[in-house]
């Protein structure tokens, strides 16, 4: 086993070398984020008088306090929550319904439905913008309320669900294929109707996949800003990601304040990622590498 040992020694040396290389690379990677955090902790005046590389004379959370006060960040964060939470729940609910039917029942249209949903998720979103925009306005006017869908959280939620449900349906149906069919068969023999079969038997089994997807979906929908930009005409109704763009223009000179705003906007997804890292990665790989 001499060759084996020599191989291991060689690998160890290589690993040490590569660790240094990866560590260096990782530092460069995270540096812009660290720099933004650093900037957000320093007062604007200090940077103006002493320069950006100056030694800090005071480090505090004043910029954060001011950002929350001046930029109405709490309101935008609330908008994000109002849009994101129902969107994620509806997306997962609809996705699981489709996955349940196409994997547990043998209908002729199963593959067509699944293809329709998966392909829909990959369309360039701008392809649907003009008709969706006018459709929302017209349907609203038909019911006597122009803002029923346009410039309303409901419209934004529906659009998000329509776009993301394809991915959820695809991921959940490939996950369902790994659940043995016998479970469903015994449920049917026990006389469970379709709804109970879905709600009491399948849904609990889908829990790990649903957890993984919900983390991923929350991140995607929270970060999305195209639809909020075009469908929400009132700035006060926009989620934080879209609002940041306007704030960037408004606070272009006071970049320490803007840095604090950006960090606050990033916090929800970053915290989610660190707390539920495993689910996050599982969600991503569940969908894109299932062959």
Partner 1 sequence: MKTATTSKKTRSRRSLSKTDRFTLSAFVGIPTLLQILLLWVPAVVTIVLSFTYWNGIRLTDIRWAGIQNYKTIFLNEPLFYEALKNNGVWLAFFVLVATPLGILLAYQVDRGIKGHAFYESIFYLPVVLSLAVIGIIWNFMLQPGGFVQGLMGLDIGNAISIWGNPDINTWVILGVASWRHIGYIMLLYLSGLKSVDPALKEAAAIDGATEWQIFRKIILPTMKPVNIIIVVITLIESLRAFDLVYIIYGSPTIFPLLNLLVFQNFAGQGLSMKGAAYAVILLVLCIVPIITYLRIVFKEDLK
By CB under 8 A, residue 175 contacts partner 1:
no
By CB under 8 A, residue 291 contacts partner 1:
yes
Q: Are 99 and 169 in contact (CB under 8 A)?
A: yes
By CB under 8 A, residue 24 contacts partner 1:
no
Q: Which stretch binds partner 1 (CB under 8 A): 56-64, 68-76, 97-105, 204-212?
A: 97-105
65 versus 194: smaller Cβ distance to partner 1: 194
- Sites for partner 1 among residues 143-172 (CB under 8 A): 158-159, 161-163, 165-166, 169-170
82 versus 139: smaller Cβ distance to partner 1: 139
State the minimum distance, in angstroms, from the CB of residue 150 to partner 1.
Answer: 13
State the minimum distance, in angstroms, from the CB of residue 226 to partner 1.
Answer: 7
- Sites for partner 1 among residues 100-119 (CB under 8 A): 100-101, 105-106, 111, 113-119
Q: Which stretch binds partner 1 (CB under 8 A): 67-75, 140-148, 200-208, 269-277?
A: 269-277
159 versus 232: smaller Cβ distance to partner 1: 159
Q: Are 262 and 240 in contact (CB under 8 A)?
A: no
By CB under 8 A, residue 95 contacts partner 1:
yes
Work out which of 13, 55, 127, 180 binds partner 1, going by CB under 8 A: 127
Phi-psi region of 121 (alpha: psi -120 to 50; beta: other; left: phi over 0): alpha
- Sites for partner 1 among residues 176-235 (CB under 8 A): 188, 193-195, 198, 219, 222-226, 230
The two structure tokens encoding residue 77: 């964060």
The two structure tokens encoding residue 120: 């829909």
């Amino acid at each position: 086993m001499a060759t084996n040992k020599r191989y291991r020694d060689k690998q160890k040396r290589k690993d040490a070398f590569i660790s240094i290389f990866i560590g260096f690379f990782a530092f460069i990677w995270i540096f812009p984020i660290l720099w933004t955090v650093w900037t957000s902790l320093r007062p604007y005046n200090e940077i103006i008088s002493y320069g950006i590389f100056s030694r800090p004379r005071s480090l505090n959370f004043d910029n954060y306090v001011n950002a929350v006060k001046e930029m109405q960040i709490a309101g935008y964060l609330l908008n994000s929550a109002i849009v994101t939470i129902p969107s994620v729940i509806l997306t997962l609910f609809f996705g699981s319904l489709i996955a349940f039917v196409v994997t547990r029942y043998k209908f002729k249209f199963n593959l067509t439905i699944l293809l329709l949903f998966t392909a829909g998720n990959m369309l360039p979103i701008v392809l649907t913008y003009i008709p969706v925009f006018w459709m929302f306005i017209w349907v609203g006017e038909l019911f006597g309320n122009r803002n029923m869908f346009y410039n309303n959280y409901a419209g934004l939620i529906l659009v998000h669900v329509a776009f993301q449900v394809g991915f959820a349906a695809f991921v959940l149906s490939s996950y369902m294929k790994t659940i043995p069919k016998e479970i469903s068969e015994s449920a049917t023999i026990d006389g469970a109707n379709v709804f109970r079969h879905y709600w009491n038997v399948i849904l609990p089994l889908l829990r790990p996949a649903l957890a993984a997807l919900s983390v991923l979906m929350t991140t995607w929908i929270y970060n999305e800003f195209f639809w909020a930009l075009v469908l929400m005409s009132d700035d006060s109704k926009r989620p934080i990601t879209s609002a940041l763009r306007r704030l960037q223009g408004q606070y272009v000179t006071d970049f320490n304040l803007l840095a604090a705003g950006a960090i606050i906007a990033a916090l929800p997804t970053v915290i989610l990622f660190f707390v539920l890292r495993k689910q996050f990665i599982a969600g991503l790989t569940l969908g894109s590498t299932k062959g």
